Every structure is written in C-alpha cells, then in structure tokens.
Structure 1
Amino acid sequence: MGIKLGAHGQKPEYNTDEYLKKFIPLVIKHASEFDNFSLRDLTDKMKLSDKDKLVYNDNDFIYDLKTKLKEIGLANVLPNGSLSLTDKGRDKKNGTEPHNRLTKYQKIYLPLFIVFGLSTFCLGWSNYLSNKEVNFQKEKNSRLESDFAHYKDSVNEYIKTIKSKTKLNVNDSLQTRN
C-alpha cells in the first residue's frame, strides 16, 4: 500500500492568535504537572475536531504555541523540544493562581495614600475658606475705619462747636450776674 497524499487533509486557514487562546488552556489542563511532556503527545488526550487537529499538528503552530507558553511563563522549553510546567503553570492547572490581587505593600500603602490625599484636600479647603474669611474681615475693617474717620471728624467738629457754645454761655452768664 502506498501513502495517500493529503490523507490528513490540507492545512486550513486559521488565525494564530485565536487558536493560541483556544489551545493554551487545553495544553495546561492536559499537561503532566511535574513530568516533561510533548505537545504532540497531548493531541490524543485533547478531544479535538479534525480541523483543530490539523491546526494543532502544524509545525509552525507548534512552534508558536511553545513560544507563547514560554513568553507567558507557563512552561519551560527544554533543549530536546519537550516542555515542563513552571510554578505559574502548575498554579493555573490547579486553579490556585492569584487573580491580580493586591500585594502586601499595596494593602498597607493604598489606605494611607487615600487618607493622606483626603486630609490634604480637607486642609486645602479649610485654608481656602479661612483666607476668604480673612479677606472679608479686612474689607469690613477698612469700611469701618473709613466710617470711623468720617464720624471722628464730625464728632470732633461737633465737640468743638459745643465747647465754644458752652464757653460763650458761661461767659454770657457771668456777665449778666455782675
């Protein structure tokens, strides 16, 4: 029997990024946790359609998949071409990977940052209000000073006129008695 060319079908057109997103979780799920594994050996464990098998077994795609797994930090590529899961890959496989949680540093300093930010805002606002009040008091004082100067002059003139009249009255009364 001869070999049938195209028995596996022609290489289908595919978007590498879409298939990487599809196959990375499957590879992590079916990979052995502590032993080295080959991507081609996982084909039987994963239940793939015929088209997906053709895409997955493509040499270019296998290379892209290895590169992406190493780039993300989920697997190490060994010199012989096999892969092994990293700690991050094992955590993802077990479902214990951290989901962008706050670090201890962030948990301590984030509330402090918020408190200091709010206190700075409150102190700035109170400073603004007190400056506004000081300006109002200065304006009020200057109005009072100008009014006082006006009344002071009036009162002084009034006192002078009263004193002059009383002197005249005293002098007049003294003359009549004599």
Structure 2
Amino acid sequence: MRRARGMTLVEILVAMSLLAILSAMGYKAFSALMLSREQLTAYSARWTDLARVFHRVETDVAALATAAEAGAVPPPTASQADTLTLEETADGAQRLVLPAYGNKSPLGRIERVYLADGKGLSWQSRPLGFAREAVPERYPLFGGDTHARFAVLLAGNRESPRWPVDGVPPGDARALVMTVTLQGGQTVRRVWSLP
C-alpha cells in the first residue's frame, strides 16, 4: 500500500500546538516589554521633574547674589537685608522665601516663595508693592507622594530648619540644603552655596 502525500492529523495537531506555544511566549514577551517601557517612562518623568525643581531653586538662590549686590547701596524703601527666610510651622510645614530684584514690581523687589507641606512642594513668585488680591497662585512642583525639606547649613556643618536663627550671625549661613524623599523612600539631597 502506498502512503498518501501530506501530513497526518497528529502531525498537524503537533505543529498547531507548537505555534500556539510560540505565540503565547511572544505575547508574554511583548507584554513585559510594554510594561517595562511604561515603568521606564514614569521613572524618567519623575527624575526630569526633580531636575526641573532643582534648577528652579538653583536659579532663585543665584538671584540672592544679585539682590545682595544691589542691596550694597540700599534703596530708601528697603527695610531689611536681602537674605533668605526659612520658617517652620508647628505642623512641620516649611516656608522658604528668597528675595530678588525685578522690574515687574512697583518696589523693584520680588519674593519667590516655596511651601513644603503634606501636600508636596509648591512655588510662588510674588511681586512686592501690589494689593493682596494681585498675588499670583501657587504652582505645585511635587505632589503629596514626594516630600521636600529645606535646611540652612551653618558653620561647623550644623543644619537649621529655620533661618534667621537668634544668636547666630548672618555670615554663618553657608548653604541651602534641599532633601527630597521620593515615592518608595529614595532620598535625594542637593546643596547650593549661599552668597
């Protein structure tokens, strides 16, 4: 008896089973690739946001030097030295005020305010000399899952969560320290030299 050409039913079933297994493995690999791509995109976005916030603070700290230089010959309306102010409330919230000079204010001065609390970190640029109603909104920089803390690094490598501090001369403030705790507990610390 002569054998018919072609594949038997068993051979066809084995081939279909192998193709199904290969398809399932390919789908699983593609799904894992897409998931890791999404995680990498989210991770990259988080670090990009952090870099933007660090750049904003760095720019505002650099403006302190300009304010200090302009303050060498104080205008008649100046009532205090152009230094940063760091306040801490009883509930642990912090308010960092960085003064600068700007031409969009009747007094020629701008306050850049950072508020670090349980809701995250927010920023506001407030020209001085306008009515309270003209104060712009706060802009969120970090959400509640990311916590930021500020400190002033003093002589002797001591840190203070408030500035100015009674009994400490203004020249003892060496740097501004920002500590950010990301979601997952990872901590990032950045230090800027003060003028």
Same topology, TM > 0.5: no
Which structure carries more relative contact order (alpha carbon 8 Å, separation 6+)?
A: 1
TM-score by length of structure 2 reads 0.29
TM-score by length of structure 1 reads 0.31
Greater helix content: 1
